Amino acid sequence: MLLSTTDTLQNQTVTQYLGVVTAEVVYGSNAIRDFFAGIRDVIGGRTGAYEKVFEKGQKDALDELEKRAKKLGANGVIGIEIDTGTINVDEKGVLLLITATGTAVKLS
């Protein structure tokens, strides 16, 4: 399966557009709130642990996107966009949301 952020591919022809596919990954953790608090303490510093959470989340979202595209008979997904956000559950917790969206296609 070919995954691409572009909508055209070199040496590939889109023979059929199968529709928009989306995948969502949600991680629940109070640590997200602590992450944002930590940013205030260390302005400009990087937090490797949270970079790994985002990296894993993006990989998981792309894996799910591929799985959903295959169910439609696709062998490619083009125009992929990945978005991240948070969902406030209550004053004690935050969920991390990572969404991947693209167009499932058949390529020749």
**What is the pTM (predicted TM-score) of this model?**
0.81
Domain that includes residue 32, residue range: 2-107
Q: Looking at the 3D structure of the chain, how many domains does it have?
A: 1
What pLDDT is stored for residue 82 in this prediction?
97
Closest-CA residue to 66 (of 19, 18, 2): 2
- Rounded-to-integer distance, Cα 90 and Cα 35, Å: 16
Domain holding 52: CATH number? 3.30.110.70
What pLDDT is stored for residue 47 in this prediction?
61
What pLDDT is stored for residue 43 in this prediction?
57
Dihedral sign of CA atoms 43, 82, 86, 68 in order: negative
